[in-house]
Copies of this chain bind each other. A is one copy, B any other.
Amino acid sequence: MTAATAIDTGDIAREMAELGRHARDAVHTLGQATTDQKNAALHAAAESLRRNTEALLSANARDMAAAEASQIAASLLDRLKLDEGRIEAMAVGLEQIADLPDPVGEVLSSWSRPNGLQISRVRVPLGVIGIIYESRPNVTADAGGLCLKSGNAAILRGGSESFHSSGAILECLQAGLATAGLLGGAIQLVPTTDRAAVGEMLTMTDFIDIIVPRGGKSLIERVQTESKIPVIAHLEGLCHTYIDGDSDTAMATDIVVNAKMRRPGICGATETLLVDSAAALKTLPKIIEALANAGCELRGDEATQAIDERVGKATEQDWWTEYLEPVLSIRQVDGLDGAIEHINTYSSHHTDSIVTNDAEKAERFLNVVDSAIVMHNASTQFADGGEFGMGAEIGISTGRLHARGPVGVEQLTTFKYVVRGEGQVRP
Interface residues of A, Cβ cutoff 8 Å to B: 28, 31-32, 111, 113, 117, 119, 124, 126-127, 209-210, 225, 228, 230, 248, 251, 254-255, 257-259, 262, 344, 362, 366-368, 370-379, 381-382, 387-389, 399-402, 404-405, 414-426
Contacts and interface: CB of A to CB of B under 8 A. Distances in A.
Nearest to A266: B426
Contacts of A113: 387-389
Contacts of A388: 113, 119, 417
Contacts of A422: 377
Contacts of A378: 117, 419-421, 423-425
Contacts of A376: 419-421
Nearest to A420: B376
Contact of A416 (B404, B418, B423): B404
Contacts of A400: 126-127, 209-210, 414
Nearest to A415: B404
Contacts of A414: 400-401, 404
Given A367-B32, A417-B374, A381 B426 contact: yes
B368 A32 contact: yes
Nearest to A419: B375
12 contacts: A28-B368, A32-B367, A117-B378, A230-B399, A366-B418, A372-B416, A374-B416, A376-B419, A378-B421, A388-B417, A404-B415, A404-B416
Nearest to A225: B228
A423 B371 contact: no
Given A230-B230, A424-B378, A373 B255 contact: no
B373 A419 contact: yes
A331 B304 CA distance: 77
Main secondary structure of the interface of A (DSSP, over half): mixed
A139 to B, nearest CB: 22
Contacts of A251: 423
Given A262-B426, A426-B387, A382 B117 contact: yes
Nearest to A373: B417
The 4 closest A-B pairs by CB, nearest first: A378-B421, A258-B425, A402-B402, A251-B423
Contacts of A420: 362, 366, 375-378
Which of A127, A209, A420: most chain B Cβ within 10 A?
A420
A127 B115 CA distance: 36
A416 B418 CA distance: 28
Nearest to A27: B370
Contacts of A368: 28, 31-32
A208 to B, nearest CB: 11
B423 A374 contact: no
A426 B379 CA distance: 7
A346 to B, nearest CB: 14
A24 to B, nearest CB: 10
Contacts of A373: 416-417, 419
Nearest to A362: B420
Given A119-B388, A426-B262, A417 B372 contact: yes
A254 B401 CA distance: 40
A414 B399 CA distance: 10
A388 B426 CA distance: 12
